[in-house]
Each structure stands twice: as structure tokens, then as C-alpha cells.
Amino acid sequence: MDGRLANTWKLTVNEKKFIETALASNLRIDGRNPLEYRKITIKFGRQELQEEKNNGVPLMSCYCVIIASVLPLEDGSSEVQLGQTHVMGLVTGQLVQPYQDRQNEGTLSIFTEFSPMADPSFEPGRPGESAVELGRIVDRGLSFSMECFPKNMESRAVDTESLCVLAGKLVWAIRIDLHILDNGGNLVDAANIAALASLLTFRRPECTLGGEDGQEVTVHPPECFPTSYAFYKSESSGGLLMYQINWITVVGVENGFSYNEREPLPLIVHHLPIAITFAFFGGEGKMVVDPVHSEEAVMGGRMTVTVNANGDICAIQKGGGEGVPQSAIMHCLQLASLSAESITKKIKNAVEAYNTERALRKIKRHPTSDAGNVSVAALDVIEQNKTIEQVEGSELSRHHLERLKLVPEDTCSSRGDDNDADIKPSEQGGTGRVQGNAVNFLGGPSSWDPYSKGVDPDSLKASLASRGVSTRHMKQNGSGENSPKTEPEKPTKDIKQATLATDTSGTALQTNGEKTLKDAVKPKNKRRKRASPSMKGS
């Protein structure tokens, strides 16, 4: 009994009285206005984890790998801080058999973890009342609107139909884990933001159907993995069994490289339902938004409104004993839709920044090659999508060899000149490498993103232009700059720039246009201006 008494947190009489009297004059204990939200910080998983994971994983000998570990760890994890409240969200996916009544839909489930470290009043083990309620509110926000508009599937936050791989046989089960790390009040809103942020950054491996009967599922690993996996339908058992789904067999490996790898797909999220919590105090109808821990202990009633940026109400949850008049509810809805807009903007900005970083990191991740290789790779773009291995293995054309001889070793240093002004110094090394390895991207599917529309016509133009450039008509146009350098060097440089341009524009599409990448695209425009006369010339 003694231990339990020590663990239950009790508000002192003084605090209770003070919170109430201060609120009477529109003051809150942390100095906020009654309708002011706390500061939101959103962080995402760290890249180091992934780097570690990918380096020399002996996948060849692995026969049993669950999907969750195939995914890079960083994607789909987020940490949200709302004042003192701290919540971690983690999204994972697994291939399972669908429910009988929804054969062509994936599933979305939410699990909450209330650790006693966050608050001593949380008991370890079984989920408490508040843990269940929190999970239900987030869940309802994400899926409830489906019930409201059963015909309009788009009203759901997450498109579960796109998670179907093989109708009736294999679908993705998306699992959201919400870990409460510190309880500073208003866990619902923080957990909801964490769930959304991690859903937006989650990526699942692409699946395609193949085989004679079109029933063989191939799971395309993220491109950083040097092998591919396939699911085999077991003929003997007469269908897919749950445990067999989780067994992965390595197929199609050639010299450690496979041509099956594809960029993992993000989930299709139609809108972001944002939960806003209001606390009600006493009979005078005092109301505050985003209550802190001690305010939650004093409040009479609580209402969580889940709305999206368009002002659609997805869910309402009213807790606590106190009754609330209709006018107050309408007022809350108004206020909620206002703050939902700003919170949506914050989440989107954070996700966008993360995507930019991810794209840049992907560029860095590619294996380094020396200057000679770089120029080969750059030339390779002109030769239309040959992979590095092919170029290395096959005999180089006379044209290539000639070009190679002319390219001096110091191209590495000259490379920097192209980007100096546009790219941040920290990223320079990585972006420098892009130019050489852009081939890898062009080889892969450019339409991995459901929203992207293939290759940007502008970038195509740019690459065409660069091809014109490569026929050395560039001499006349570009002679103004880089005068001390030898002539043959220029075409290679230009090609590299163009490669960068095509590549970055591709990435820019995927990540909905971020600042850094846009900056990197700048040379493309310059290039176009300069290159177009050369096209005419040729």
C-alpha cells in the first residue's frame, strides 16, 4: 500500500486553488494564454542506424528475415515533443493474410505503450484506461471518417486499399506503436502528431506479382540491399499460410547485385486528422486548449476534437464529468480547425525537411568511385542507362576511350566549382558524388512515388541539351568561363552538371520540391540557357 501511495501523483491543495484563481484572470501556470498551444518539436529517426545496418549484412545466408527488418530503421519513426510531453511513434509493416470480409484492404492498427518512466502512475504491464482511450482516439481520427462517408474512400486518412498485394491472399498490415516517454499533459494530441509524422515518413518495400499464374509475389528490397527477395507460393500446402509469408528466399542474385531492387513506397495519406484537446474548468465555463499535467489534474471535463486542415471533423471525444453547452462545443470546433491548420503545416514542414535530408543521404550512400569511374559513369548517361557494372565489364567504345584519356585526374577538384555557390558546404562531398553515380538512379524506376509524374520534361530537355553539349559544340558558348582549363575538360564537366540536373530534378519531384535540392537544380537552368544555342548549332 505504501508503494502505491508513493506512486500516485497528487496535486497539492495550493496548486489546485492557484490554477483556478489564476485562470479566473485568464492566466495559466506556464504563462500561456488560455487558447495558446505549446511549442511542437518533431524529430525523425537517425541515419546512423541505417548506415550501420546496411554495411555488410550477410543477407545471402539469411533465409528468414521479417519484413520489418528489411525496412531501413529510420523510416517511419518520429519523436514529438509538446512542451514537456514526449511521445515516440514507430510505424512498421508486415505482409499478412487479409480479413475475410475485407479481402482487398490492408490493415492499420495502433498500439500504445505507457512506460512507468514517463509517469510513476502508469503501471507496467497491462495497458491502463488512459492508454486504451488514447489509442482509440488516434485510431478513430485516422479511420472514422470512412464510416461517415462510406462511398468516398478518399475520406479515410490512410488509403488501405493501396496496401493490398494479392487480393484475399496477401496485404500489408501497418502497425503504429506509440511510446509515451514523458507525460507533461495532453498526451492525446502529442501521440496523434507522432502517429501522423511517422505514417508520413514510413516506406514499405514495393511488391510486384510475377510467375506463370501471376501469383508469385516479389518483394523488392530498398536499393541499398545488394540482394532481392521473393515470396514463393507453396503449391503443396494449397495456398499461403501465415508463417510462410514471413519466410523470404533469396533469388536472382548475380555477383552480389540484383536488378530487382526498387525504392520503397510511402503510404498514401489523404489528409491529416489533427487532435486538439480542450479542458473545461468549473461552472463558469472556463476553457483552455492543450492542458498541461497539473491542469489535467484540476479540470472538470475534457474534449478532444479531431479535425483536418480543411475543417472536416473526423472525431470528437468528450471525457470527464462536466457538461459542456452546445455553444462551447461549436466554439471549440472553430478554434480546433484554426489550430489544426497550423499544426498540419508544422508536420508537413518537418516531413518535407526529413525527405530532403533522406534524398541527400541516399545520394551519399552510393559507393564511392575514383575520378576515372566518375567520368565513365557520366558518359554512361549519354549512352542511355547502362549500369556501372556493364560499362566496366564491357569494352569501351573508341569514343569513350578517347574521352577518358582527355579527362585529367583533377576533375574531382574542378567538380567543386560547379556547386560551390549553391550547395551547403557540409553536403558538398555527397553531392559531388551524385554526379558520378546518378546512373544508379536513372536505372531505377523514376515513378516510385505515386504522386510523381515520371521524368520532368524540363530535366529531359536539360539532358538532351547536355547531349548536344557533349558533341563539343560547347566550345563556342562556354569559352567565357574557366579559361585556364583545357578544352576537352569542359564537355565532361557539362555532362556532369547535366547529370546532376536530371538527377536532382527527379529527386525534387519525389520530395515535393525542397529548398536544398532546388538550389542544386539551379545549374540546370543556367545550363539550358547556354546549351540551347549549341543545339541549334548542331
Q: What is the binding site for another protein (CB under 8 A)?
A: 2, 5-6, 10-18, 21-22, 25-31, 33-35, 331, 334-335
The distance of closest approach from Cβ of residue 339 to another protein in the complex, given in angstroms and rounded to an integer, is 11
- Nearest approach in angstroms of CB 17 to another protein is 7
Nearer to another protein, 121 or 387 (CB): 121
The secondary structure element, H or E, covering residue 143 is helix 129-143
C-alpha–C-alpha distance, residues 193 and 343, integer Å: 8
Nearer to another protein, 1 or 242 (CB): 1
| Closest approach of another protein to the CB of residue 216, in Å | 56
Sign of the Cα torsion 414, 419, 424, 429 reads negative
Nearer to another protein, 16 or 365 (CB): 16
Q: Which residues are CB-neighbours of 111 under 8 A, at least 6 positions away? A: 135, 175, 176, 177, 178
CB of 456 to another protein, least distance (A): 34
CB of 297 to another protein, least distance (A): 10
Residue 243 Cβ, how far from another protein at the closest point, in Å? Answer: 45
Q: Nearest CA to 412 among 435, 391, 389?
A: 435
Least Å distance between CB 191 and another protein?
Answer: 23
Work out how close the CB of 33 gets to another protein at its nearest, in angstroms, rounded to a whole number: 7
CB within 8 Å of 492: residues ≥ 6 apart: 375, 378, 379, 403, 407, 411
Q: Which residue in the block uniquely carries the three cell numbers 498526451?
A: 187
Residue holding cell 484475399?
A: 168
- What separation in angstroms does the CA of 436 have from each of 52, 194, 216, 530? 24, 37, 36, 22
CB 91 within 8 A of CB 77: yes
Alpha carbon 51 to its chain centroid, in Å, reads: 17
Q: Rounded to the nearest whole angstrom, what is the least distance from the CB of residue 311 to another protein in the complex?
A: 14
> Between residues 5 and 64, which has the closer beta carbon with respect to another protein?
5
Q: What is the three-class DSSP state of 170?
A: strand
Q: Which residues, at least 6 apart from 320, have a Cβ–Cβ distance to it below 8 Å?
A: 280, 299, 300, 301, 302
CB of 343 to another protein, least distance (A): 16
Closer residue to another protein in complex, CB, 3/150: 3
Q: How is residue 141 annotated by DSSP?
A: H
φ, ψ for residue 405 (rounded to 5)? -60, -40
In terms of CB distance, is 5 or 242 closer to another protein?
5
**Cβ closer to another protein: 340 or 360?**
340
**Nearest to another protein of 23, 360 (CB atom):** 23
Taking the complex as a whole, how short is the minimal distance between the CB of residue 27 and another protein, in angstroms?
Answer: 6
Amino acid code (one letter) for 441: F
- Residue 53 or 286: the one with the smaller Cβ distance to another protein is 286
Count of residues for the chain?
Answer: 538
Which C-beta is closer to another protein: that of 13 or that of 242?
13
User: Which residue number, 65 or 328, has a Cβ lying nearer to another protein?
Assistant: 328
Cell of 411: 576533375
> CA-CA distances (angstroms) from residue 13 to 18, 20, 21, 297, 507?
9, 11, 12, 11, 58
| Torsion angle (degrees, nearest 10) of CA 502, 504, 510, 515 | -140
Contacts of 40 (CB under 8 A, 6+ apart): 80, 81, 82, 193, 343, 346
Round to whole Å and give the CA distance between 80 and 225. 30
